[in-house]
Each structure stands twice: as C-alpha cells, then as structure tokens.
C-alpha cells in the first residue's frame, strides 16, 4: 500500500526540506509513499477537488490568502479520515487544531525525529481507520467504520449504534463490545462510548464533543479516566 502525502507550503525551501525528511522516514520504515508539493492552499484545493486520494496532509499554517487552518476546515467538511499535521512557527494557532481534529502541530524548525514520530502515528491511525463494525439489517449488511461511531446504547433487546446515521439491531451490547477495539469503553451497563469523541468526564456523566451527555454508573469514573489516559 502506498501512502499519498501532500505538502502544502508557500516557501519552496521549507517544502523541499519536509519532502526530504519524509522520504528519509519512508525509506527507513519501508513504506511506499507518493508525495506532491503545493505552493498554496488554493493550489492544493484545486487538485483535491479533482482527486481526493490523499492520506496525510502536511500543512504550513502561515500562507497567503488562505492559511492552513482554513484549508483544513474545508477538507474536514467531507473527509474525517485524512491525517492533518500542521507546521507552524507560532504557538497561537495550536487551539485551532482541536476543531479540525489535527493529529499534531510541528513547530519550526522541524526536527527530523519529531516528524518521523508524527508520520508513524499518522500511518497507525490510517490503518486503524480501516476497522469497521458489520451490522446485519433487513436484507442488507451495513459496514460502519469505528471512527464514525460516537457511542452505542442498549434498550431492552436492541442496541442503537450512533454514528453518522443511527442503526438499531437486535444484538447485545456485550456481543458488539467484543467486535470493537480499545478505543471504546463502557460508561455503565447501557452505554459504550468511543473515546475519540469524548470532551470531558465527570463522576456522573461523559460529555461528547457534540455536547451529548451519557450517564456514568457508580464505579466507572476511574476506569474511564484510565482508559482515556491510555488512549491518548
């Protein structure tokens, strides 16, 4: 499998430096990569609208009319799988990364070992994004990627999987739990939450990024906290 990587930077020397470091990392790891360099956010968007093939985006934040954060917002409207890494010389932009689910911020000057670590994490997340839950509906089989699932909720003999759409199946929560990975954790007997969507945990509830509140059963607060620490 070849990973498609886009490097977007309006400084040619900086873009070439990142390209060389990325090529060195790929060679050491044995990964096949295809890289393209773009001198502006607009140039990348023009190509992206033609072919949405990119797995990893290495985006300079400070560019011309459209900066890297604005570009990431446009990409995220229709693509949650691509791994976004910002490259910047200023700390002030870091809070913007949460909005677009950026994998990491790299501060200039970029250190080779740090870029390598981040690229390795990006590949691990891409591989993980291939995982999916298979649900049998009426006359159809539905594939729901793990990264789309916010939480699962049981009601009597049925479980509703809350993702980009909601799917209700006659299964037990325990059965589905065995088919998920360690990014999912129970908040109690009736709920399984995807930790990547969690914004805050209290002793009584879990708050998701979309402000959904799930109840936390007695004794589950500490296990949830430990799971979050392991996950991140």
Q: How far apart are CA 5 and CA 19, in angstroms?
A: 9
pLDDT > 80? residue 203: yes
For each of the domains in the chain, give its residue range(s) and CATH number, in order of start: 2-128 (3.40.50.2300), 133-231 (2.40.50.1020)
Give CA–CA dist 139/141, Å, rounded.
7
Write out pLDDT tens, residues 146-163: 989 999 999 989 999 999
Is the pLDDT confidence value at 67 over 90? no
Q: Is the pLDDT of residue 97 over 70?
A: no
Judge whether residue 81 has pLDDT over 90: no
pTM over 0.95: no
Mean pLDDT, residues 205-224 taken together: 94
Please check the confidence at residue 215 and state whether its pLDDT lies above 70. yes
Q: What is the mean pLDDT of residues 169-183?
A: 93
């Amino acid at each position: 499998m070849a990973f498609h990587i886009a490097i977007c930077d309006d400084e040619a020397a900086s873009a070439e430096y990142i390209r060389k470091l990325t090529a060195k990392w790929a060679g050491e790891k044995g990964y096949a990569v295809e890289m393209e360099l773009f001198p502006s956010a607009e140039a990348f968007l023009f190509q992206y609208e033609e072919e949405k093939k990119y797995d990893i985006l290495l985006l300079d934040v400070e560019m011309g009319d459209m900066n890297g954060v604005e570009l990431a917002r446009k990409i995220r409207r229709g693509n949650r799988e691509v791994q976004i890494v910002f490259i910047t010389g200023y700390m002030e932009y870091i809070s913007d990364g949460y909005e677009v689910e950026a994998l990491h911020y790299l501060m200039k000057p970029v250190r080779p070992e740090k870029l390598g670590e981040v690229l390795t994490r990006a590949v691990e997340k891409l591989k993980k994004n291939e995982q999916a839950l298979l649900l049998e509906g009426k006359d159809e089989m539905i594939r729901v990627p793990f990264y789309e699932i916010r939480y699962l909720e049981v009601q009597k003999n049925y479980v509703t999987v809350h993702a980009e759409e909601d799917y209700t199946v006659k299964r037990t929560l325990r059965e589905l739990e065995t088919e998920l990975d360690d990014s999912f954790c129970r908040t109690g007997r009736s709920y399984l939450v995807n930790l990547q969507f969690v914004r805050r945990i209290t002793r009584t509830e879990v708050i998701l990024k979309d402000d959904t509140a799930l109840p936390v059963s007695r004794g589950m607060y500490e296990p949830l906290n430990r799971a979050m620490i392991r996950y991140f």
